[in-house]
């Protein structure tokens, strides 16, 4: 994870290989999220391409990383559309399987006026993706030590574990986004070089306590070079590596839709590491990418390009300099 010459805007030496889910997002925006048993009217409907894996792949590709996707869709119209959307976003879909008799994954999303959301998912083909396909796909893609494997958990736990195991065997950098966190065992978590939970997922993995305490609990005593990047929403993120804990603040923005913010963070982190950036710098850019993502509706439409991300970071640096000089 050493920095390379040319800066973060230069296409790097490694690839991003995303192993995860593809969904179609059916989104209703309302004034407030409904309570259990309550109906809230007056909503606006939109349909977007989604799935954490698909979103993360688009985020990485938009930042210039050569990006490959390993996953599954159903043999339905949603599946064909999902494949085409990934390909249009410069994501290689040669290892995206079409499973006969399966439905493409669906996410039902409710978003309120301040950008918070509630999501229910029907996994469909994502839940049928097997570890054998993951193993064979990563081997066909000739996974190597310069690559970054970004793995989600909206697929079978065995498939998640196998993707991380293949990354370990190839000495590639492995990022695990433990979403959802349920069902992940210590032996699976231990295969990841970087864990990227949000605060709720970190609680599910490590119980109560401050984010830094819980992160170290997940890493365990023999953490080595492993790290945890905890997403804290409007507060940014916390990077815990070894004995160090570093707060990464998020720029203040007007949130429109938080759907996909975590996916933007993960995709940007993977792209940064694949470009050879040091972990701290890759994490800083990832938080900035996630912040930009919440300013636009939809999980993927807010994913920034390299130019947009660089401009945002430059503006934040200028604002910080003015504040220090005031």
pLDDT digits (tens, 9 = 90+) for 102-151: 999 998 989 998 878 888 889 999 999 999 999 999 999 999 999 999 99
> Is the CB of residue 278 less than 8 Å from the CB of residue 12?
no
- Per annotation, catalytic residue among 146, 193, 263, 310: 263
**166 lies in a domain?**
yes
pLDDT band at 3; cut points 50, 70, 90 = very low
Number of domains in the chain: 1
**6 lies in a domain?**
no
Cα gap 286→229, rounded to integer Å = 10
Instruction: Give residue 222's pLDDT.
Output: 58
More confident: 275 or 242? 275
CA angle 25, 259, 272 (to 5 degrees): 110
State the chain's mean pLDDT as an integer: 91
Say if residue 8's pLDDT is above 70.
no
> Is the CB of residue 22 less than 8 Å from the CB of residue 53?
yes
Average pLDDT over residues 8-14: 54
What are 87's two structure tokens? 């390909």
> Is the CB of residue 82 less than 8 Å from the CB of residue 54?
yes
**9 lies in a domain?**
no
Whole domain around residue 215: which residue ranges?
16-33+42-318
Residue environment code for 219-242, b if the CB has 16+ CB neighbours within 10 A, otherwise e: beeebeebbbbbbbbeebbbbbbe
More confident: 8 or 124? 124
**252 lies in a domain?**
yes
**8 lies in a domain?**
no
Express each pLDDT in 45-61 by its tens digit.
988 898 999 999 999 99
| Pairing mode of beta strands 67-74, 16-19 | parallel
pLDDT band at 323; cut points 50, 70, 90 = low
Express each pLDDT in 213-257 by its tens digit.
999 999 986 557 899 999 998 899 999 998 889 999 988 888 877
> Is the CB of residue 175 less than 8 Å from the CB of residue 229?
no
The DSSP symbol for 235 reads G
Long-range contacts, stretch 221-229, CB < 8 angstroms, 24+ apart: 225/193, 226/192, 226/193, 226/194, 226/195, 227/193, 227/194, 227/195, 227/279, 228/194, 228/195, 228/196, 228/197, 228/202, 229/194, 229/195, 229/196, 229/265, 229/269, 229/283, 229/286
Q: What angle separates helix 211-219 from helix 199-206, to the nearest 10 degrees?
A: 50
Express each pLDDT in 110-124 by its tens digit.
999 887 888 888 999
> Is the CB of residue 147 less than 8 Å from the CB of residue 168?
no
pLDDT band at 321; cut points 50, 70, 90 = confident
Tell me the CATH number at 66: 3.40.1190.20
**195 lies in a domain?**
yes
Q: How many residues does the chain have?
A: 326
pLDDT band at 325; cut points 50, 70, 90 = low
Instruction: Give residue 121's pLDDT.
Output: 84
**191 lies in a domain?**
yes
Q: Is 263 one of the catalytic residues?
A: yes
Instruction: Give residue 326's pLDDT.
Output: 56
**5 lies in a domain?**
no
């Amino acid at each position: 994870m050493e920095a390379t010459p040319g800066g973060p805007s230069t296409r790097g030496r490694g690839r991003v290989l995303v192993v995860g889910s593809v969904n179609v997002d059916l989104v209703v925006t309302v004034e407030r999220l409904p309570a259990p048993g309550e109906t809230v009217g007056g909503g606006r409907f939109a349909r977007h391409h989604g799935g954490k894996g698909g979103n993360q792949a688009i985020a990485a590709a938009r930042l210039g990383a050569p990006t490959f996707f390993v996953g599954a869709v159903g043999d339905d119209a949603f599946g064909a559309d999902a494949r085409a959307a990934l390909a249009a976003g410069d994501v290689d879909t040669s290892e995206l399987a079409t499973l006969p008799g399966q439905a493409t994954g669906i996410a039902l999303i409710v978003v309120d006026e301040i950008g918070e959301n509630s999501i229910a998912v029907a996994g469909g083909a994502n839940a049928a993706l097997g570890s054998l396909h993951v193993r064979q796909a990563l081997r066909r893609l000739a996974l190597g030590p310069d690559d970054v494997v970004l793995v989600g958990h909206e697929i079978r736990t065995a498939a998640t574990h196998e993707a991380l195991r293949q990354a370990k065997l190839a000495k590639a950098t492995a990022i695990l986004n433990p979403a959802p966190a349920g069902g992940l065992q210590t032996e699976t978590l231990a295969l990841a070089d970087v864990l990227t939970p949000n605060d709720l997922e970190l609680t599910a993995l490590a119980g109560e306590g401050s984010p830094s305490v819980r992160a170290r609990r997940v890493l365990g005593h023999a953490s080595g070079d492993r790290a945890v990047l905890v997403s804290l929403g409007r507060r940014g993120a916390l990077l815990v590596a070894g004995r160090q804990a570093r707060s990464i603040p998020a720029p203040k923005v007007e949130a429109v839709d938080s759907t996909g913010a975590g996916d933007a963070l993960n995709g940007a982190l993977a792209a940064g590491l694949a470009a050879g950036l040091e972990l701290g710098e890759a994490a800083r850019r990832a938080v900035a990418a996630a912040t930009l993502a919440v300013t636009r509706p939809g999980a993927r439409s807010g994913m920034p390009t390299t130019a947009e991300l660089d401009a945002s970071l430059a503006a934040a640096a200028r604002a910080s300099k003015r504040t220090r000089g005031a």
